[in-house]
């Protein structure tokens, strides 16, 4: 299966099938609102950056074993992406709720913030 370019993805957004991509076994769904905000706020982002972002998000979810599904603001300083994502652990599904401007990562109150780059925690077993 060939991955849609993000501009195609945006242009054909009315067709639901074009709003889903699979990253490392997780389905990533753009809501229409998410697509509109992306178009409005992140016009310069290309496919590769989005794919890198979602790969980092999945790594973070799996690496830290995020136990509960829910809405989180995932931020990438390097890629300058701030996206509010609904994570469903059981379905292995990520829904992009909205995309915030690159320099304004202020979600609605109560949204947990997770940085996709940062300190990797290493567990050391002491015998």
Q: Could you give the CA distance from residue 67 to residue 8 in angstroms, rounded to a whole number?
A: 34
Which pLDDT does position 66 carry in this prediction?
A: 62
Tokens 């639901």 label which residue? 16
Bigger pLDDT: 30 vs 58:
58
Is 80 exceeded by the pLDDT of residue 17?
A: no
Q: How far apart are CA 61 and CA 46, in angstroms?
A: 23
Radius of gyration for the alpha carbons in the chain, expressed in angstroms and rounded: 15
Rounded to an integer, what distance in angstroms lies between the CA atom of residue 107 and that of residue 98? Answer: 9
pLDDT at residue 126 greater than cutoff 60 = yes
Averaged pLDDT score across all residues of the chain: 76
User: pLDDT tens digits, residue range 42-69?
Assistant: 655 677 888 899 999 999 888 876 667 8
Give the pair of three-digit tokens for residue 21: 């991509």
C-alpha to C-alpha distance for 86 and 33, rounded to whole angstroms: 13
Instruction: Identify the residue whose tokens are 């242009």.
Output: 11
pLDDT band at residue 116 using 50, 70 and 90 as cut-offs: confident
């Amino acid at each position: 299966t060939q991955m849609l370019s993000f501009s195609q993805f945006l242009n054909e957004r009315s067709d639901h099938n074009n709003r889903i991509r699979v990253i490392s076994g997780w389905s990533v769904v753009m809501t229409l609102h998410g697509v509109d905000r992306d178009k409005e706020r992140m016009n310069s982002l290309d496919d590769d950056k989005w794919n890198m972002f979602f790969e980092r998000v999945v790594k973070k979810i799996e690496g830290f074993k995020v136990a509960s599904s829910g809405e989180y603001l995932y931020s990438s300083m390097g890629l300058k992406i701030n996206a509010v994502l609904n994570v469903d652990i059981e379905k292995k599904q990520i829904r992009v709720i909205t995309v915030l401007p690159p320099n304004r990562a202020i979600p609605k109150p109560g949204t947990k913030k997770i940085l996709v780059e940062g300190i990797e925690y290493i567990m050391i077993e002491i015998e």
